[in-house]
A and B are shown apart, each in its own frame.
Chain A
Amino acid sequence: MALEPGSPGPQSVVSRPSAWGGLGLLLDTPAKRAAAIVVILAAMVAAPLLGPYAVVILTNALLYTILALGLNIVVGYAGLLDLGYAAFFAVGAYSVGILTTVFGWNFWATIPVAVLAAVCAGIIIGGPTLRLRSDYLAIVTLGFGEIVRIAARNLQITGAASGISGIEQPWLFGWHIAGSTDFYYVFLLLAVIGIFVSVRLARSRLGRAWLYVRHDEDAAEAMGIDRVRVKLAAYIIGAIYGAIGGAFFAVNFTAISPQSFSFQQSTLFLMAVILGGMGKIPGVILGAFIVVLGPELLRDLGSFRYLVFAVGLLLIMLFRPSGIWPSGAKR
């Protein structure tokens, strides 16, 4: 990424296409912005016409999109491998579950608490471990994810193995968000907000710091970037996405149990990020939809579908190590 001697200075960075080649670039012209609006409108109108089953599956795909966007900030932007992302998802879901059922809180009041809990979890796990080499970090996050799941399975307050049920679905200005179509729109809105925040983050000062740290940590540090701090920022923002996804997941299904937050879930989220192409937002969205719709479409294969899926992932890593729709930046 070094600038050649005599090349234009940093001011050209502003006019250069985003290094992510992501949605920012996609929405550069009015025509493209119009296209994005058409896609969103189409998503709003078309899905309910496809029938209730499709709405449920698409809602799930949107949930995965939100979580994959959050994990993408950690893995794609900052280059940290997180194998325990389901832990943050769990923190969000259980915060809502416990506060609404045990303490009788209003759902909307629990969201700030869920976010705060995820931030704390992010600092607790990230703070001491982000100095570690990348592969150690992967294992530590995996261990952390398991600790959260085992804790949820054994604590009284989390309802042990059976989890929490009877979570009340929220009201918003007289609208009871209860049906599957209602939640489809809620998740669509959340996904659009998530995309917007991700795009803005990638182009922010912090986003450029992540890019730098990901490419050359030592050089970044020499340029005055506090690498532990920017990594921690990525970790915390990713955790917030996870917690919000988890919070709405809890009210959508009204019941949560430890099985929803297993290591397999974490790998599915990671696959969503990697499959499409990490760091690039359209790629991440594509990945989330493949992860959710793939096994649905392969349903005919019965018990072989996850094997086919796993082999597909392996082949993608071997032949397209940067994903199906990779980021424009090299590596």
Chain B
Amino acid sequence: MTLTTILLQQLVNGLVLGSFYALVALGYTMVFGVVKLLNFAHGDLYMVGAFIGLLALSLVAGAVGTSWVGVGLAILLSMLAVGFFGVFIERIAYAPMLKAPRLSILITALAVSLVLQNGVLSLTGGQVMPFSPKLGFAGINLGDIFINYKQIALAGAAAVLMLALELFVSRTQYGRAMRAVSVDKDMSELMGIDVNRIIAVTFFVGTALAAAAGTMAGAYYGSIWYFMGFLIGLKAFTAAVIGGIGSIPGAMLGGLVLGLLESFGTQIPGIGSAWKDVFSFSVLILVLVFKPTGLLGKSEQERM
């Protein structure tokens, strides 16, 4: 393979990986924008999304099979179910804590993450479960590089979801209210916005995107387990910070940037796949130290 081919192949890999990161990062950033909470459990909701997606796929398999239609339906069902689950978690665990000290709410989020992980661990016995839809291995050749149909579908679905989110946030009443709450919660309340409802909508949308990413990851990589959300949660947070936390376009950009950085980073001699995660976390630390507002974030008064 020539260098150009390798680089083009890594570009494709990076965009696929970046789509996952971006979808998960969006939920992080939206929740942070509206309630100023770092939802540590977000990566685990992605994991729950993958398991619900697998369940949904087995439910619809009889009617539509486990091919493209089945997977699409499973993604939608998982988004719906896990979206409501996210709202439920917000009501149970986070809503009572929103006025508590910052440390307490961070630890509550950590506890939610542990409950989800150990809950799924107990239910599945900690086993890696096969997620094997019949999507085949076909693809197209573009010159020297091979692109799987799965990769195209994945990037396409991610793009559609992000476009839908952008329209939702910029064009609808709820989106407007969401932006208002993220700017000034108290003032929005005075303007007649039902802040609790907006928070619920935010959790629903953010969690649904994570669930979509989880189901797609399951279908793409072919297996799921209870711990799959940990690393991607960290990476998605990194992506959100690179883009500027609280900024929706920032999360999309940050996800793609991180995905590309990682896939090209593994090609640098001496880094390789073993050091891939060290590479991303170093990027995170450097961004936080030198440009904590990220690429597209606005500078914000520190709130301790």
Whether A253 sits at the interface, judged by CB under 8 Å, is no
> B interface, by DSSP: helix, strand, loop or mixed?
helix
Selected contact of B118 from candidates A75, A135, A217, A310, CB within 8 Å: A310
Determine if A81 and B103 form an interchain contact, defined as CB atoms under 8 angstroms apart: yes
Whether B119 sits at the interface, judged by CB under 8 Å, is yes
Interface pick from B10-18, B94-102, B143-151? B94-102
List residues of A (274-331) whose CB comes within 8 Å of B's CBs.
274, 303-304, 306-307, 309-311, 313-314, 317-318, 321-322, 331
Determine if A321 and B97 form an interchain contact, defined as CB atoms under 8 angstroms apart: yes
Query: Given A128-B289, A150-B275, A150-B277, does the pair A134, B103 have CB atoms closer than 8 Å?
Result: yes
Query: Given A147-B281, A303-B121, does the pair A154, B288 have CB atoms closer than 8 Å?
Result: no
Determine if B284 and A143 form an interchain contact, defined as CB atoms under 8 angstroms apart: yes
CB contacts (< 8 Å) of A146 on chain B: these are 234, 277-278, 281
Query: Given A133-B302, A150-B277, does the pair A79, B118 have CB atoms closer than 8 Å?
Result: no
Determine if B115 and A147 form an interchain contact, defined as CB atoms under 8 angstroms apart: no
CB contacts (< 8 Å) of A75 on chain B: these are 103
Q: Bits for A104-143, please: 1 = Cβ < 8 Å to B, else 0.
A: 0000000000000000000000001100111110111011
Q: Bits for B208-231, please: 1 = Cβ < 8 Å to A, else 0.
A: 000000000000000000000010
Q: How many residues of A contact B (CB 8 A)?
A: 42
Considering the chains assembled together, what is the distance between the CA atoms of A61 and B107 in angstroms? 22
Determine if B112 and A307 form an interchain contact, defined as CB atoms under 8 angstroms apart: no
Considering the chains assembled together, what is the distance between the CA atoms of A331 and B101 in angstroms? 8
Determine if B114 and A217 form an interchain contact, defined as CB atoms under 8 angstroms apart: no
Shortest Cβ distance from B244 into chain A, in angstroms? 13
Shortest Cβ distance from B96 into chain A, in angstroms? 6
Q: Beyond the given A136-B288, A318-B108, A321-B108, could you list 15 further A-B residue pairs with CB under 8 A, ordered by the A residue number?
A: A133-B292, A134-B106, A135-B102, A138-B106, A139-B234, A143-B281, A144-B281, A146-B234, A150-B277, A267-B114, A274-B107, A306-B114, A307-B118, A311-B115, A314-B114
Which chain A residues have a beta carbon within 8 Å of chain B's beta carbons?
A: 75, 79, 81, 83, 128-129, 132-136, 138-140, 142-144, 146-147, 150-151, 153-154, 217, 263, 267, 270, 274, 303-304, 306-307, 309-311, 313-314, 317-318, 321-322, 331
